[in-house]
Amino acid sequence: MTSLSVIVPVKDEEGSLPQLYKELSSTLKKISAPYEIIFIDDGSEDKSGKILSELKKKDTRIKIITFRGNFGKSAALSAGFEKAKYSTIVTLDADLQDDPHEIVRLLKKLSQGYDLVGGWRKNRIDPLSKKISSFFFNKGTVFISGVKLHDFNCGLKVFNKTVADSLHLHGELHRFLPILAAKMRFKVAEIEVIHRPRRFGKSKFGFERSWRGMIDLLTTIFITDYATKPAHFFGRIGFILFLSGICMDGYVTYLKITTGSTQDKIPLLLAGILFTLLGVQLISTGLIAEMLAHYLLHNDPAIKKYKK
């Protein structure tokens, strides 16, 4: 029988919280499994903190983690994962854009043998700029990561606790939870969910943040595909550059020996030197990274997380 730890990151959501609690607890009661609701107050400056402690007084299944300041949604979720005591994790935004009733369908899908099931906001109700940036973000993410989902960043997700235990979310990596999970060979799926407009407060993630997503995607690929073999990444580019540089300068040297003149080949010579040096630098960076990885993996139980 499943038991649920519901994790809700909260930053200035005073308008939504009472209604959210109502909808969430009515759904959870219907599921009739043991559950807890962990709210993470991520440095709210409105009345969210006060509303949460009022709710906690009425309901012993509520737990609250209060941050000293705003550390971001990833940090909030991580804190929630750490506190969660049940076998299935449910994450949900606090702004009522995710419909708590959808948890039932997500859990049903999870029980069909998946480790993580995310929501796909097919009819997303957000400003156009956000929908466009999100469209490119999701397409780009599929292209680069090879993980074929439509919506990576839906707040509504359900997954096994082992998934949470195997991941470290820092920075803004919450967006890539499905990729991190898929790269750890967990079985990942998504289903369409209802998305609702934000009625209270305002969004904390605007268009201006979308470029960061691309950098974070690189980080994600790095810490999943290359964390244990960084020299493969740096080495590949380094070798290509190094060999091209050697060829360029070898050619110039050959011309010098055979024709005696390399007057118009100076740019090629310089490019060759640049490529060779860059190549050597990248290869050495890869080797240094490899030493670090060797040391860290030896001391960190990360590798044990591969076990079923």
Task: Collapse the DSSP code of 30 into the 3-class scheme (helix H, G, I; strand E, B; otherwise coil) and give the result.
Answer: helix
CB of 98: closest distance to ligand UDP in angstroms?
9
Binding residues among 17-46 for ligand UDP as defined by CB under 6 A: 42
**Distance of alpha carbon 51 from alpha carbon 74, whole angstroms:** 22
- 205 vs 239, beta carbon nearer ligand UDP: 205
209 binds, among Mg ion, ligand UDP, none (CB under 5 to 8 A by kind): none
Q: Does 276 bind Mg ion (CB under 5 A)?
A: no
* Segment near ligand UDP (CB under 6 A); pick from 197-205, 213-221, 280-288, 297-305: 197-205
Per the CB < 8 A criterion, the answer to whether 141 and 179 are in contact is yes
* Segment near ligand UDP (CB under 6 A); pick from 87-95, 140-148, 234-242, 263-271: 87-95
Per the CB < 8 A criterion, the answer to whether 89 and 36 are in contact is no
Strand-pair category, 88-91 with 116-120? unpaired
Among 11, 121, 157, 265, binds ligand UDP (CB under 6 A): 11
Q: Does 204 bind ligand UDP (CB under 6 A)?
A: yes
36 binds, among ligand UDP, Mg ion, none (CB under 5 to 8 A by kind): none
Q: Does 76 bind ligand UDP (CB under 6 A)?
A: yes
**Distance of alpha carbon 276 from alpha carbon 57, whole angstroms:** 67
Total count of residues recorded for the chain: 308
Short-list 81, 15, 10, 79, CA closest to 49:
10
Q: Does 95 bind Mg ion (CB under 5 A)?
A: yes
Q: Give the interface size with Mg ion as a residue count (CB under 5 A).
A: 3
98 binds, among Mg ion, ligand UDP, none (CB under 5 to 8 A by kind): none
**Distance of alpha carbon 78 from alpha carbon 170, whole angstroms:** 8
Measuring CA to CA, how many Å separate 83 from each of 6, 11, 89, 104?
11, 19, 11, 23
- 95 vs 102, beta carbon nearer Mg ion: 95
**Distance of alpha carbon 64 from alpha carbon 41, whole angstroms:** 7
**Distance of alpha carbon 166 from alpha carbon 182, whole angstroms:** 12
Q: Does 83 bind ligand UDP (CB under 6 A)?
A: no
- 70 vs 284, beta carbon nearer ligand UDP: 70
DSSP string, 79-94: HHHHH--SSEEEE--S
Among 39, 55, 73, 156, binds ligand UDP (CB under 6 A): 73
CB of 24: closest distance to Mg ion in angstroms?
15
Residues that bind ligand UDP (CB under 6 A): 9-11, 13, 42, 70, 72-73, 76, 93-95, 97, 155, 203-205
